[in-house]
Structure 1
């Protein structure tokens, strides 16, 4: 067997991918705050648009759209069920070209998965997600709300920028910065872990009819600490009930529900404070109400998802 090296004296397209595709992440160039690359505007027949003057990278191969908007037409749906299509940026190893393509979904099911055949295998395509498009039965035009952005981005130094609801695929040791939560996340190959983050101290958004004399929430390293003294301003907390008092900010949802074992409100009777991914609640035992002139006071600690 002979040893080879490249790019000197020459490099094939596959060698290029194996070299740069491992050193450079795939993604769009820019920032998650940029306008979504894929959009619909209720014109044409099942048409979506690809914005002009945008760039991306797939496995070390560059893609760019010039000054003209690209139009793509989705297949008709007469199945009787809603279909979800996936819009991808695809590297085709037969032509070594990168283009925007539509992966048609199955009616009644979710969006199909992107194909990511490794360069060491026999597959001819590698895809990254750009968006999903909901195609209703017998629909003729697509509203803007039918398109959901799924793209992540590459910073100037190649770091991955994303949002908590549109992350890159998993690879062990891959890191990314979530611009909407302000945290670094790290992949173990299957799950994303909080690596570095500090949200600073903020207040939870209370629902109408509730006030708080103390309202402090902080997430550091994935651990959330809440100190909340909440009062119902227009009625009593009913006995034997779970009353939602606030929403959980994005990036602070617990991995599982947590609740204080015994929490005393001013007046001497027990109540509880409960946090789930759906919100923050006051829990009152049967036979115990908390009047609107009383404050429920508690602190909780949990790990964010």
Structure 2
């Protein structure tokens, strides 16, 4: 067996992918704040549109759309059930083209999965997700609301930029920066872990009927600390009730519900503060109502999901 090296004297397409596809992440070039690459506007017959002047990298191969918007037509749906199609950017090793393609879903089921055949296979396709499109039974047009973005992005230094709701696929050691939460996340191959994370101090958004003289929430390294002194400003709170006080900002949701007990409203009524992924609640004791203008002061610590 002889040794060989490339790109000198020459390199095959497969060698190119096996080298650069491992060294470069895949994704759209830009920022999650950019307008979505794939959109619909209700025109044409089940048409989606590919925004002009955009670029991407897929497994070491570059893609770009020129100055003209490109349209794609989705198949009709007469199944009697809603269908969800997946829009992908596909590297096809049969001819080494990189193009936007529609992966048709199964009516009544969710969106199909992208296919990521590794370069070691030497053939097949490698896809990254761009969007899902909901095609109602009998649909002739596609409103903007039928398209849901699924793409992540590459910054100027090749770093992966994403949102908490749109993350790249798992790979051991892969890192990404969530622009909407301000945290670096790290994949262990199956789960995303908070790697570098400091939200600074923020306030939780209170609901009508409550005010706060202390309202501080911070997330650092995935650990959230809340200090909240809340006042009931409108009407009494019924005895034995669980009343929502505030919403939890995105990225601060707990892994599981947590509760601080042994708290008391001003005036002496027992209370508890409970935090779930849906928000922050005050829990009043059975048989004891809480009058208007009463306050409760508490703190909680939890791990963000």
TM class, shorter-length: over 0.9
Could you tell me which residue of structure 2 aligns to residue 239 of structure 1? 239
CA distance in 1, matches of 2:281, 2:123: 51
Using the TM superposition, give the Cα deviation of residue 222 of structure 1 relative to its aligned residue in structure 2, in angstroms.
Answer: 0.6
CA distance in 2, matches of 1:289, 1:30: 54
CA distance in 1, matches of 2:239, 2:76: 54
Q: What is the correspondence of 1:78-97 to structure 2 with a 5 Å cutoff? A: 78-97=78-97
Could you tell me which residue of structure 2 aligns to residue 12 of structure 1? 12
1:129 aligns with 2:129: yes
Could you tell me which residue of structure 1 aligns to residue 160 of structure 2? 160
Could you tell me which residue of structure 1 aligns to residue 144 of structure 2? 144
- Matched residue pairs, number? 305
Q: What is the correspondence of 1:18-29 to structure 2 with a 5 Å cutoff? A: 18-29=18-29
Could you tell me which residue of structure 2 aligns to residue 254 of structure 1? 254
Using the TM superposition, give the Cα deviation of residue 233 of structure 1 relative to its aligned residue in structure 2, in angstroms.
Answer: 1.2
Task: Say which SS state the counterpart of residue 31 (structure 2) adopts.
Answer: coil
1:64 aligns with 2:31: no
Using the TM superposition, give the Cα deviation of residue 269 of structure 1 relative to its aligned residue in structure 2, in angstroms.
Answer: 2.4
Task: Say which SS state the counterpart of residue 21 (structure 2) adopts.
Answer: helix
Could you tell me which residue of structure 1 aligns to residue 284 of structure 2? 284
The runs of 5 or more residues in structure 1 that have no matched partner are none
Task: Say which SS state the counterpart of residue 19 (structure 2) adopts.
Answer: helix
CA distance in 1, matches of 2:121, 2:296: 60
CA distance in 1, matches of 2:4, 2:290: 77
Could you tell me which residue of structure 1 aligns to residue 105 of structure 2? 105
Task: Say which SS state the counterpart of residue 22 (structure 1) adopts.
Answer: helix
Using the TM superposition, give the Cα deviation of residue 261 of structure 1 relative to its aligned residue in structure 2, in angstroms.
Answer: 2.5
Using the TM superposition, give the Cα deviation of residue 123 of structure 1 relative to its aligned residue in structure 2, in angstroms.
Answer: 4.5
Measured against aligned partners, the alpha-carbon deviations of 1:99-119 in whole angstroms (never above 9, x if no partner) come to 000011111111111000101
Could you tell me which residue of structure 2 aligns to residue 196 of structure 1? 196
Measured against aligned partners, the alpha-carbon deviations of 1:187-222 in whole angstroms (never above 9, x if no partner) come to 010011111111111110011121111111110111
Task: Say which SS state the counterpart of residue 186 (structure 1) adopts.
Answer: strand
Measured against aligned partners, the alpha-carbon deviations of 1:216-266 in whole angstroms (never above 9, x if no partner) come to 111011100001111221111211111111110010000000001221221
CA distance in 2, matches of 1:288, 1:108: 49
Using the TM superposition, give the Cα deviation of residue 2 of structure 1 relative to its aligned residue in structure 2, in angstroms.
Answer: 2.0
CA distance in 1, matches of 2:125, 2:274: 47
Q: What is the correspondence of 1:203-214 to structure 2 with a 5 Å cutoff? A: 203-214=203-214
Task: Say which SS state the counterpart of residue 198 (structure 1) adopts.
Answer: strand
Relative to the length of structure 1, the TM-score reads: 0.98
Indicate conservation of the 8 Å contact 2:14/2:122, yes or no: no
Using the TM superposition, give the Cα deviation of residue 122 of structure 1 relative to its aligned residue in structure 2, in angstroms.
Answer: 5.2
Greater CA drift, 187-196 or 1-10: 1-10
Could you tell me which residue of structure 2 aligns to residue 266 of structure 1? 266
Measured against aligned partners, the alpha-carbon deviations of 1:30-49 in whole angstroms (never above 9, x if no partner) come to 11111000000010111000
Using the TM superposition, give the Cα deviation of residue 285 of structure 1 relative to its aligned residue in structure 2, in angstroms.
Answer: 2.0
CA distance in 1, matches of 2:38, 2:132: 9
